[in-house]
């Protein structure tokens, strides 16, 4: 019995030892398999744990807190314009026909426009084309051509479509209306209808619409004049209202000194600021226009550019009058331009406009540069900033 018990005990111990070894072998095998399984999981880690690929930044539009708009005439060399300081350049002019068509004055203007677009885009400067102007290429004033085109709904729509198609084809950023000037309530209503229809074509394409307007202030009396009419609802459909605050020399006879003096600009700014407040319109749309040319006391002598004045003597940049060509010229120099810029911005205006940028001096005496600096200094924000372009 004792032998049997000892034998049994030995067998239990033996089986226990052998079982432990077998269990250890199984466990070791499972661990190895588990390690392999873990290795596979690491190799197939979720994408969130992998460094993402770098993506391109979204496309952005370069914009400016305040606008600086320069008109440039169609025959002007587009290479002399300082696009780096302008937010907009407006090519002038497309000439309307009475049936709603548009004309350019030959092949050279189209070539100049295309050069302008190429150069402006390098500086993220927007290019627009102005329709109208004072003189028509077919002779006389543009007024009767423009009036006929927008007075008839059929020709008005045709003009809208012609301008929109031209802007698309030439990669333009918008259209400027320069109807000089609506003389009646009917004119004003037709101009408003034209602006509304054109805005409905341009704005869905993310193109802008601006309008040049008569200053509405008499240069001598400094009172409102009534011979030019505007329909206030028109201004709801435009992005910029470019006030032609110059050419006051023609009021009550010829007085060269009334070209565009500072007191004249003061009254113009006050008038338009109050008018927009009364109509509950944003004053950011208002843009104060200034001349880059000089008016002679002797009307038989031609105007001269600011560039010519500075080229005669760089010190002329600090003045508003100069004696040249046997007469005295009146103009706006650096100091006056900076004062006018501050005046406009202090009244909530959206910026400044130049007629015309091609008349400016080159280099450090440039009025474009003076106004650009004045705009920049008026704000704590940098003049140019970036916003994400919306699809």
Domains recognised in the chain with CATH numbers:
61-292+332-380 (3.20.20.80)
Hey, CA dihedral for 330, 335, 336, 338, is it positive or negative? positive
Running DSSP on this structure, what letter comes out for residue 5?
H
Q: What is the dihedral of CA 190, 130, 68, 284, to 10 degrees?
A: 10
Give the pTM: 0.82
Listed residue (202, 266, 194, 275) closest to 232, CA to CA: 275
How confident is the model at residue 64, as a pLDDT? Answer: 54
The whole-number pLDDT of residue 378 equals 87
- Residue 62 pLDDT: 45
pLDDT at 380: 55
pLDDT of residue 7: 40
Torsion sign (Cα): 137, 138, 139, 140: negative
Q: Which helix (H) or strand (E) holds 216?
A: none
- Using 50 as the pLDDT threshold, list the residues of the chain that sit under it: 1-62, 381-391
Backbone angles phi and psi of 25, in degrees to 5: -65, -45
Note the pLDDT of residue 351: 98
Which residues, 6+ apart, have CB-to-CB distance to 283 below 8 Å?
272, 273, 276, 277, 347, 348, 349, 350
| Rounded distance between C-alpha atoms, residue 274 and residue 237, angstroms | 19
């Amino acid at each position: 019995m004792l032998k049997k018990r000892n034998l049994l005990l030995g067998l239990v111990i033996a089986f226990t030892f052998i079982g432990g070894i077998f269990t250890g072998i199984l466990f070791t095998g499972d661990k190895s398999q588990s390690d392999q399984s873990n290795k596979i999981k690491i190799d197939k880690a979720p994408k969130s744990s992998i460094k993402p690929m770098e993506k391109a930044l979204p496309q952005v539009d370069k914009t400016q807190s305040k606008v600086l708009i320069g008109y440039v005439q169609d025959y002007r060399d587009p290479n002399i314009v300082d696009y780096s300081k302008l937010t907009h350049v407006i090519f002038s002019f497309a000439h309307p026909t009475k049936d709603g068509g548009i004309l350019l004055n030959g092949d050279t203007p189209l070539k100049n426009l295309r050069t302008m677009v190429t150069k402006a885009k390098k500086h993220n400067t927007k290019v627009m084309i102005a329709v109208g102007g004072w003189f028509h290429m077919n002779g006389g004033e543009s007024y009767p051509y423009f009036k006929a085109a927008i007075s008839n709904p059929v020709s008005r729509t045709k003009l809208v479509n012609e301008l929109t198609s031209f802007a698309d084809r030439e990669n333009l950023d918008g259209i400027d209306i320069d109807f000089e000037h609506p003389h009646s309530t009917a004119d004003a209503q037709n101009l408003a209808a034209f602006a509304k229809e054109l805005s409905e074509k341009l704005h869905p394409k993310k193109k802008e619409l601006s309008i040049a307007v008569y200053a509405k202030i008499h240069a001598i009396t400094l009172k409102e004049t009534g011979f030019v009419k505007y329909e206030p609802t028109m201004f709801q459909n435009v992005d910029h209202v470019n006030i032609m605050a110059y050419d006051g020399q023609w009021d009550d006879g010829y007085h060269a000194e009334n070209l565009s003096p500072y007191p004249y600009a003061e009254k113009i700014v006050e008038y338009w600021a109050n008018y927009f407040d009364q109509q509950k319109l944003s004053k950011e749309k208002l843009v104060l226009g200034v001349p880059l040319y000089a008016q002679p006391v002797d009307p038989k002598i031609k105007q001269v550019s600011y560039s010519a004045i500075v080229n005669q003597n760089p010190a002329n940049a600090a003045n508003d009058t100069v004696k040249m060509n046997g007469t005295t010229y009146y103009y706006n120099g650096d100091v006056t331009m900076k004062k006018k810029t501050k005046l406009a911005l202090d009244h909530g205006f959206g910026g400044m406009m130049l007629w015309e940028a091609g008349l400016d001096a080159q280099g450090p005496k440039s009025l474009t540069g003076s106004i650009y600096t004045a705009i920049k200094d008026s704000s704590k924000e940098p003049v140019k900033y970036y916003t994400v372009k919306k699809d």
